Structure 1
Amino acid sequence: MSQRLSQILHRFRGPLLALWLVALVAAAIAALPLADRLSGGGWYVPGSDSLSAVQSMRSGFADRGASNLTLVVTDERNLAGSPEFDRRMSQVMREVTADKRLETTGGYGWLTLSGHSRQEFVGKDGRTAVTMVGLGLDDGTARRVLPDVQQEIDHRYAPQGLRVAMVSAGTFWGEINKLSAEGLQKAELITFPLVLLILLLLYRGVVAAVVSFVVSVTAIVLTFGVMSVLAAHVELSIFVQNAATMIGLGVSVDYSLFIISRYVDELTAGRDRTTALAIALRTSGRTVLFSGLIVVLAMSSLFLVDLNVIRSIALGIVVVVAFATLASVVVLPVVLHLIGDRILWGRLPLRRRTSGEKGRASGEHRRTAGERGHRWGSVARQIMRRPVLFLTLASAALLALAVPSLDLHTFTPDARIAPASSPVRQGFDAVREQFGPGTASPQQIVITSRTALSASPDAGRVTALQEQLVRLPHVTAVRSPLDVLRAVSPERPLAGLDAAVFSRLPGDARGTVDHYVSADRHKIVLEVIGDDYASADRSRALLDAIRSAAAGISAPGLHAVVGGETAEGADANTAIGDALPEVVAVMLAVLYLMLLVTFRSLLLPVKAIAINLLSLGATYGVLVLVFQRGLGAALFGFDPSDHLQNFVPILLLAILFSLSTDYEVFLLRRIREEHDAGADNTTAVADGMARTAPLISGAALLMVAVFGAFALTGIMPIQQLGLGLALAIALDATVIRLIVVPAAMRLMGRWNWWLPGRRPTPASASASASARASESSGRA
């Protein structure tokens, strides 16, 4: 089949090349608007209370809109109460809210109130004032529009001694989108030259290194084109672009490395291009196809998580790996057919090479490869002489690294992932500093009554709820219209919503009521201000208390839901936690069955899964030390927090099991080949290590370089993902493959290949030996 495929690719190389170029150009054009189409959303869980609360507040209120922001203005030259402060503050706020791009629907705060009512919206420094503004922009449009508006107003007013910031989910995610794009560009500037250098060292040839980039460019460009088309119709997270680039680049260079290396080996052994390519496809190509299928199936298990941000990232990775696999087994062979022996052009001189003759070069190549392989085989034999000692030491080291993972906590990103120099971050910080830590992210209770609240028999429950909320620990204030309404109806505040009574309130008081009560008087909002960041442990504990209190007012005609940034994160965590057992079960079942079919062994898949769990635990432990406990704050430039980003651990679980299984398959296929050829267990393991370890080490080095670049240049969630992947791959290529695998396989002995009912025949062994001899001839 491999021979026929090689011949077909050779015969139709022209049309296939033309089709590939057309697809590449079309995808590149389609990908141009991708960044503007990606969304900062995806954190809401369908059917959750936090989503219901947001949806309830999007319409029906006088000054709340499809999206909302808090306009924060600091006058560095004047103090509140002075005529100049009032003039400058009014002018700035009116000019900003009048911007047609914002589609302002209303406002509530310093700008709309007067006299003493304004004091609540003036900060502790006496220089900062805020106004809440409702916008007609949906979340996606707000994310695209607000960053440009923010940049303009920052440049316009900063020279006047005015710091103006728009604090909202739209501006925050718009800023994250911009930072994400900048981080991607920086990572690419670091990664591409570094990967090219590593490929030059691995291939020792310029043409082979450049050809590897064909696969990478193909996979990433085609993925971006598909994602851009999809993003025009469905919501996709802004993290898709970084994740797809990071995984796509790492996987594609690995896959191309496996195939090109085998192809070059066969060419230097004297085979023609068609035969060399057929052998490369039958060996490395089959491994690449199988590995790509494993990654796609394992990542597909993440679709069980009912959270769009995770499904978006999973989709991006699935698509980019599928294209990387397709490019490796179709596009790459076409290119190799076209260039043939020219893949050897631009060979870098080896230290032992004294002549440019092709035969001498081939001999040097085979001798150097054989020497490298011999060293790896010797290491494996040394380890297998004392398997218990080495397995114990390696396992103990990994378990020690895993200990901090027992303290792992997760939550959604907050404003602290933006740099302190960002105007958006400065706006969030100003609100927290001037009005209290929880003011920028209040916890909101939306209460809906079947009848008008003024006549509802359950109205007393609302009043009692506010009194209960004020007494909760970590609550600094509860904002509602009840205190204002008590001025006209002391005993039954909500009766003050009756039109006849409401009209007797002053204008500022009516504005306050309309901010918290819907126009039809069926919905009321209570805002609870805590004393910490939205993602802090105290805020999460407060959320539990608020939800418990809100549940207590439920009645046939009254319904309450709790929303806000903390509730959004808690619901997302719950969705991930609820889906995690299913994700793990499906993923492990897929991996076990795939490895069972591949190796025809019941126990080797179990060993592979157990080893991957050790590696994953160690990776989690290091991430907790670096990001949760702040040991890497100086290196990575972030503000320490008490949690990891909630999608990082589950993504690492799926990606690492997939990528580690790639190396497991590549190594064990070769060990199995040696075993079926008649070698004893120890010899099969040592020879398999000798033949694959140099390539696995090179592939791992490429991945570590790619993931490490994203860890140093991305925003915090991508930094966590990048560092986790780089660390895990480094552990896999060193501790796992060099120590744990040979030691474990030595101890398992004949049980490595145990399968009930399997009866290997001499003929099959002979056939395997013959195939091995055919495929390995010419190698040292």
Structure 2
Amino acid sequence: MLDTEQRPTPPPTTQRRQLERGIASFTARHKWPLAIVWLILLGVGGASGVSLTGSLSSGGWWVAASDSVTASQQIQTGFVGRGLSSAVLLVHDRDNTASNPAFDQRTRDVFDQVTADPRMHAASSFGWSTLSPANRAPFLGKDGATALTTIGMNVDDDAATVELPSLTKEFTQRFDGQGLDVSIVSGPAFWGEVNEQSTSGLIKAELITLPLIVLILLVLFRSVAAVLASLAVGVTSIVLTLGILSPIARHVELSIFVENVVTMLGLGVGIDYSLFMIRRFKEELAIGGSVEDSIAASLRTSGHTVVASGLTIVVAMSTVAFIRLNAITSMAVGAIAVVAVSILVATLLLPVLLNLLGRRIDAGRVPLPRRFRLRPDDADPTTSFWYRSTMTVMRRPLIFLVAGAAALLALAIPLTHMKLFLPDSRILSSPSAVRHGFDTISEQYGPGYGFPIQVVVSSSAQLQDTATDLASYTRELSGLPDVAAVQSATPVLERISPADPMAALNSSIFGALPPDARNAVRHYVSDDNKKFIVEVISAAPGSDERTTRLVERVRDITDKLPNSVHGVVGGVPASAYDANKEIERGLPWVLVFMLTAVYLLLLLTFRSVFLPLKAIAMNLLSVGATYGIMVMLFQYGWGAGLLGISVPGYQMNFVPVLLLAILFSLSTDYEVFLLSRVKEEYRAGADNSLAVARGMTHTAPLISGAALLMVTVFGAFGIAGILPIQQIGIGMAIAIALDATLVRMVLVPAAMRLMGRWNWWWPGRLKPPATTVAHTPRTHISAAHHAPNRGAEGVLGL
């Protein structure tokens, strides 16, 4: 039977003490050379990181070996108007319609100039500008003043992504004065614009964030020197990480969102870790410790908190590898890299700076009125808000636990309606020429025209031998619900040879056809007559559930094709479908391995069987509520106007996965920090309830300040960033706010009060001495903190 006052037994820590003392001593003896090394690292990292943007990839959204990938590869060669990459040239004449001869001349002049530009790498074209008047009606918009032509390019998507954004702006400006709206619309043009808007959003977020960070740190530290030291850690973490990732990106595909993830987490986590370290260093100095001793003590306590929480993030993000989407994996790599670098900077480079500053860490003292201080220095902790609120919760723990959990569960209900899709044109700002082009296509040709479902039917023999099967197949596709149109070579072939359309592919007949008829056929039939493209245009946007169902129906029909032919279904709607299915497949594995890893880390950290289970349960509630609020914001539009964010009606398919890993680890970060202090108080002799109250009193102000800092950083990215970063930033800000308030202030103390002695149960742990300390108020928490028996071994307890 468990003793009611069972205590965690402090294990031996001699080797770890030597390590911490060694770091403190080494950085003290060699602080100036190490400071120079720091500056050199910053310079090298900055010089390397400058080139990162140009090495990042727009790809990574395709599931390897999926039908959508196979279809994309098969379309790249052998067709007119298609190539390694393709683009749609869209021209709107503000002064003429197609009934005016000037319209044809003006649109053809635009086409000639665009395709003649060597930067377009145009190989072949198909559409309004390449066909005779009798065959080009499908390429005229509803207003009669918009025309499009598809251009096949001889460069891959990554190269096109670099070229097309600047070309689009150039052509738009060149023809605007002539009364022509010109857009280049394609996947690479879209991703190139995303890259540019992502970079500008990053700069805007930094301009918003940095002044707010300085203000919050001034309130927390009340000294300019401490603020600058903290900022140095955050900036160093970002610069070094970008410098490390830059050469990697030249050999490994990294998503264009990596920069945003690194900067956002680097500012949040890096400064957060420095906050813990510097605050503890100042405390140690305040009780009379030397600079070197204070650094060693900070490393032994807050330093181990940083390592434990950082390792939790690294392990949690590593589980994302179970989802085989390179865009998600590369963003996880960025998160892992910046957190790992932040750990090293906070525990190895920050001590160098603390040795240089010493007691000057309080230089530039900023006097604040008492009401703006987190806790007045001379305050009785038992009269503090944190102590009183914690004791209030623990007097009625069951009521508070049930009410708090019910509130989070209620917020999580909309999670059941979460919709996922790939980023589409709606993530671009409205003034963008690329966004305008996609909007124009949707308005003039239909919401699904810009992202057709593309089916590639191939045969080992000539297509002429499969004429009946192909005709039956296209008719069946045309009859599906939510189909706006089915485009293929069939209508042209039927006009040429009504009795046997595929007979028109015979060289004797096909060679005698006019050029535009041959081009119309070759846009859908490969030059070896073995591949046949059918494009199914949905009546709904690509992210709509009706389009998703249409992809499923098209694949069902395609799977039933006779053995003489084989079909694969691709296009953006199909690739989004495949990506979502991959996320659905991998997410349970991510969750299982992440929960297991977090549990084991917390098990080793606290030597407690049940505290990790409690932490995981709280985190799941917090993450579920965050997802629910995001559905309300980005799908229902509730409150989106107040935040100034767009409402796409879906979540970016990679956002929930990344949020799960990041939020779980960041929430565990605060859990480690709080419970580490509670554990110290418990070892010092306080009973369970008093240890929780004292731990909350000492850590809650700092946790609240750190949470406010993170909410500010993430919220700024959420407001200023491009939509995917908006969703990540706002999701993280919401989760941190929930965690630092409802979870940390209500659910945690209530659960720990109910669990009582079971909080610290560990199999085989010996019973403690008979004498214990009861509820004896202390005038200063720091006195308890520095008591001889406080168990100063640190966080990990190994």
TM above 0.5, yes or no, is yes
The residue number in structure 1 matching 2:318 is 300
Which of 336, 340, 344 is equivalent to 1:326?
344
The residue number in structure 2 matching 1:500 is 508
CA contact (8 A) 1:453 1:522 kept: yes
Render the CA deviation track for 1:45-94: whole Å, top value 9, x for unaligned: 10011111111111122331110011000010011132211111111111
The residue number in structure 2 matching 1:75 is 93
1:7 aligns with 2:25: yes
For residues 340-419 of structure 1, what are the structure 2 equivalents within 5 Å? 340-351=358-369, 367-368=377-378, 371=381, 374-419=384-429
1:759 aligns with 2:766: yes
Which of 466, 476, 488 is equivalent to 1:480?
488
- Partners of 1:379 and 1:198 in 2: CA distance: 23
- Partners of 1:126 and 1:299 in 2: CA distance: 52
SS in 1 for 2:608: coil
The 1:773–1:758 alpha-carbon spacing in structure 2 relative to 1, beyond 3 Å, is closer
For residues 139-150 of structure 1, what are the structure 2 equivalents within 5 Å? 139-150=157-168
SS in 1 for 2:788: helix
The 1:204–1:638 alpha-carbon spacing in structure 2 relative to 1, beyond 3 Å, is closer
The residue number in structure 1 matching 2:10 is none
Q: Aligned AA for 2:72?
A: V
**How far 1:639 moved relative to its partner?**
4.4
Which of 194, 197, 212 is equivalent to 2:212?
194
The residue number in structure 2 matching 1:126 is 144
The residue number in structure 2 matching 1:439 is 449
SS in 2 for 1:367: coil
Of all paired residues, the percent bearing the same amino acid is: 49
CA contact (8 A) 1:79 1:126 kept: yes
1:618 aligns with 2:625: yes
Normalised by the length of structure 1, the TM-score is 0.95
Q: Aligned AA for 1:432?
A: S
- Partners of 2:314 and 2:705 in 1: CA distance: 23
1:465 aligns with 2:483: no
1:604 aligns with 2:604: no
Render the CA deviation track for 1:280-326: whole Å, top value 9, x for unaligned: 11110011011111111110100111001100110000000001110
Q: Aligned AA for 1:193?
A: P
CA contact (8 A) 2:455 2:568 kept: yes
Which of 532, 535, 542 is equivalent to 2:550?
542
- Partners of 1:97 and 1:648 in 2: CA distance: 38
Q: Aligned AA for 2:144?
A: G
Which of 274, 282, 293 is equivalent to 1:275?
293
For residues 51-90 of structure 1, what are the structure 2 equivalents within 5 Å? 51-90=69-108
Which of 649, 658, 662 is equivalent to 1:655?
662
The residue number in structure 1 matching 2:574 is 567
- Partners of 2:379 and 2:610 in 1: CA distance: 32
Gaps of 5+ in 1: 354-362
For residues 605-684 of structure 1, what are the structure 2 equivalents within 5 Å? 605-684=612-691
Which of 743, 746, 749 is equivalent to 2:753?
746
**How far 1:489 moved relative to its partner?**
3.1
Moved over 3 A (4+): 350-353, 363-366, 368-374, 635-639, 760-769, 773-776
Q: Aligned AA for 1:430?
A: T
CA contact (8 A) 2:23 2:348 kept: no
CA contact (8 A) 2:83 2:154 kept: yes
The residue number in structure 1 matching 2:715 is 708
- Partners of 1:550 and 1:637 in 2: CA distance: 43
**How far 1:272 moved relative to its partner?**
1.1
**How far 1:393 moved relative to its partner?**
1.5
CA contact (8 A) 2:80 2:126 kept: no
SS in 2 for 1:348: coil
CA contact (8 A) 1:108 1:133 kept: yes
Q: Aligned AA for 1:449?
A: S
CA contact (8 A) 1:676 1:769 kept: no
**How far 1:433 moved relative to its partner?**
1.1
The 1:341–1:372 alpha-carbon spacing in structure 2 relative to 1, beyond 3 Å, is farther
1:586 aligns with 2:593: yes
- Partners of 2:152 and 2:256 in 1: CA distance: 24
The 1:529–1:773 alpha-carbon spacing in structure 2 relative to 1, beyond 3 Å, is closer
1:94 aligns with 2:112: yes
- Partners of 1:546 and 1:65 in 2: CA distance: 24
The residue number in structure 2 matching 1:509 is 517
Structure 1 stretch displaced more, 420-429 or 11-20: 11-20
The residue number in structure 1 matching 2:702 is 695
**How far 1:12 moved relative to its partner?**
2.5
**How far 1:505 moved relative to its partner?**
2.5
1:110 aligns with 2:128: yes
- Partners of 2:771 and 2:492 in 1: CA distance: 88
The residue number in structure 2 matching 1:17 is 35
- Partners of 2:700 and 2:629 in 1: CA distance: 26
Q: Aligned AA for 2:567?
A: A
Q: Aligned AA for 1:627?
A: F
Render the CA deviation track for 1:20-50: whole Å, top value 9, x for unaligned: 2222111111111222221221101100111
**How far 1:379 moved relative to its partner?**
1.4
**How far 1:773 moved relative to its partner?**
8.3
Q: Aligned AA for 2:518?
A: R
CA contact (8 A) 2:452 2:537 kept: yes
- Partners of 1:245 and 1:201 in 2: CA distance: 23
- Partners of 1:26 and 1:673 in 2: CA distance: 41
1:40 aligns with 2:58: yes
The 1:768–1:279 alpha-carbon spacing in structure 2 relative to 1, beyond 3 Å, is closer
- Partners of 2:695 and 2:66 in 1: CA distance: 52
CA contact (8 A) 1:629 1:641 kept: no
Render the CA deviation track for 1:242-280: whole Å, top value 9, x for unaligned: 111111110011100000001011112221100111111
The 1:743–1:99 alpha-carbon spacing in structure 2 relative to 1, beyond 3 Å, is same
Gaps of 5+ in 2: 1-18, 774-784
SS in 2 for 1:70: strand
Q: How many equivalent residue pairs?
A: 764
- Partners of 1:326 and 1:708 in 2: CA distance: 26
Which of 436, 439, 448 is equivalent to 1:426?
436
The 1:97–1:467 alpha-carbon spacing in structure 2 relative to 1, beyond 3 Å, is same
CA contact (8 A) 2:172 2:182 kept: yes
- Partners of 2:425 and 2:541 in 1: CA distance: 9
1:135 aligns with 2:124: no
The 1:189–1:760 alpha-carbon spacing in structure 2 relative to 1, beyond 3 Å, is farther
The residue number in structure 2 matching 1:357 is none
The residue number in structure 1 matching 2:781 is none
**How far 1:225 moved relative to its partner?**
1.1
SS in 2 for 1:535: coil
- Partners of 1:119 and 1:375 in 2: CA distance: 73
- Partners of 1:230 and 1:145 in 2: CA distance: 22
- Partners of 2:467 and 2:378 in 1: CA distance: 84
- Partners of 2:370 and 2:116 in 1: CA distance: 75
**How far 1:710 moved relative to its partner?**
0.7
The 1:758–1:371 alpha-carbon spacing in structure 2 relative to 1, beyond 3 Å, is closer
**How far 1:576 moved relative to its partner?**
0.8
The 1:373–1:302 alpha-carbon spacing in structure 2 relative to 1, beyond 3 Å, is farther
- Partners of 1:744 and 1:585 in 2: CA distance: 23
**How far 1:370 moved relative to its partner?**
5.6
- Partners of 2:113 and 2:596 in 1: CA distance: 60
- Partners of 2:579 and 2:515 in 1: CA distance: 40
The 1:263–1:467 alpha-carbon spacing in structure 2 relative to 1, beyond 3 Å, is same
CA contact (8 A) 1:554 1:560 kept: no
Q: Aligned AA for 1:452?
A: Q
